[in-house]
Amino acid sequence: MGKYVIAGNWKMNKTPAETTALIEEIKPLVKDATCDVIVGVPFVDLAAALEAVKGSKIGVAAQNCHWEKSGAYTGEISAEMLKAMGVGYVILGHSERRTYFGDTDVTVQKRVRAALDAGLTVILCVGEYLEQREQGITGEVVAMQTKIALGGVSKEELSRIIIAYEPVWAIGTGRTATAEQANEVCALIRKTITGLYSCQTAKKVTIQYGGSMNAANAAELLAQSDVDGGLIGGASLKAPDFATIVAAAK
Ligand code: 13P
């Protein structure tokens, strides 16, 4: 389906010096990767990451951005600022942003707009809570998150959107979705995109799975027909594990 993309989401981990060290460790291990490889680092580590990835094909992502270009928004970072420093990607709508920092489908849509306007590629996260899965409304929840976030996104712009399906109950819990569960929802996201755009367009979109993906379970998840990559938290902080996942994406 879409091009394989393996992205690490470092969350709130690593200092600039530690960022340099970890990327230096990852670089030789992923030099023969056939998929795209991205590291998503804290804002203060972006400069170190951009410097460290030089001479490799590793992309650098921020973990959020504000929707305004500039202004009185203490503590915020704009998409323009990220683009200006050479960042290529931004993770948006992560469940931790939604759960702990008040992000909603509407603010995620605004951030997506700003990121695309600035020329960034977006890793858009969607996923259901355990209660929603138990109620049997996973499909509705994920389709709605996807539709709202993509509101106003053109077919051309969609080539700069990667979608990450991250069931909230699988994040940081060690409880991975089964390969069937992951594939079922990734396929549903693709169907939602087909409805919004076309089958042709939907086939080209990279849809990742995220949630306790690790060196041991990555190959099975990545072998699914609609899973085109992974967004990896904990395991992305260990270079050999991350490299194993990258090698499994083919
Ligand atoms: P874990 O891989 O630690 O479960 O985190 C997944 C995630 O949230 C990636 O964005």
Class of domain 5-248 (CATH, top level): alpha beta
Query: pLDDT tens digits for 222-232?
Result: 999 999 999 99
Query: pLDDT tens digits for 146-172?
Result: 999 999 999 999 999 999 999 999 999
Indicate if the pLDDT at residue 1 is higher than 90. Answer: no
Please give the positions annotated as active site.
94, 166
Quote the percentage of the chain above a pLDDT of 90.
Answer: 98
Q: Output the pTM of the full model.
A: 0.98
- Distance, CA 47 to ligand 1 centroid (Å)? 23
- Domain range list for the chain: 5-248
Q: What are phi and psi of 63, to 5 degrees?
A: -105, 0
Residues 221 and 213 sit within 8 Å (Cβ to Cβ): yes
Confidence of residue 208 (pLDDT cuts 50, 70, 90): very high
What's the mean pLDDT in 244-248? 98
Is the Cβ atom of 212 under 6 angstroms away from ligand 1? yes
Q: For ligand 1, what atom is nearest to the CA of residue 171?
A: 4
Cα separation, 94 vs 42, whole angstroms: 14
- Distance, CA 218 to ligand 1 centroid (Å)? 13
Query: Can you list the positions of beta strands (E) in 80-176?
Result: 89-92, 121-126, 161-165
Is the Cβ atom of 109 under 6 angstroms away from ligand 1? no
Residues 90 and 115 sit within 8 Å (Cβ to Cβ): yes
Residues 237 and 22 sit within 8 Å (Cβ to Cβ): yes
Residue 3's SS3 state is coil
Characterise 63 by phi-psi region: left (phi > 0), alpha (psi -120 to 50), beta (else). alpha
More confident residue, 19 or 175: 19
Is the Cβ atom of 172 under 6 angstroms away from ligand 1? yes
